[in-house]
Amino acid sequence: MTKADLVAQIAARANMTKAAAERSLNAMLESVQEMLAEDGKLTLTGFGTFVAETRQERQGRNPRTGDVITIAASKVVRFRPGKMLKDALNK
């Protein structure tokens, strides 16, 4: 599913125009991004939890040359599904 598909589905379910649905989706995505940047955690009860975690610096290999390289530390977002989402997927 693409973002355009999601916008069309939101518009149909919420009985709104695609433009309004896209604005709503963009606002939601921006809010999620801001919350993760500020607090590092966002919980949507029943759906799941988004958590920003720090990945440690580590050693890796360049697949072309086989040389050992250092991969810098970075922040990543992890998602832990909630019970309602798990139950919906396992019907």
pLDDT tens digits, 72-87? 999 999 999 999 999 9
pTM over 0.85: no
Closest by Cα among 74, 73, 31 to 50: 31
Q: What is the CATH number of the domain that holds 84?
A: 4.10.520.10
Give mean pLDDT, residues 21-50. 94
Q: Which residues of 55-67 are buried (b: 16+ CB within 10 A; e: fewer)?
A: eeeeeeeeeeeee
pLDDT tens digits, 37-73? 998 999 999 899 999 999 999 999 999 999 999 999 9
Q: What is the pLDDT of residue 12?
A: 96
Domain limits for position 80: 3-90
Give how many domains the chain has, as a whole number. Answer: 1
d(CA 41, CA 26): 19
Q: What is the pLDDT of residue 91?
A: 85
Give mean pLDDT, residues 17-31. 96
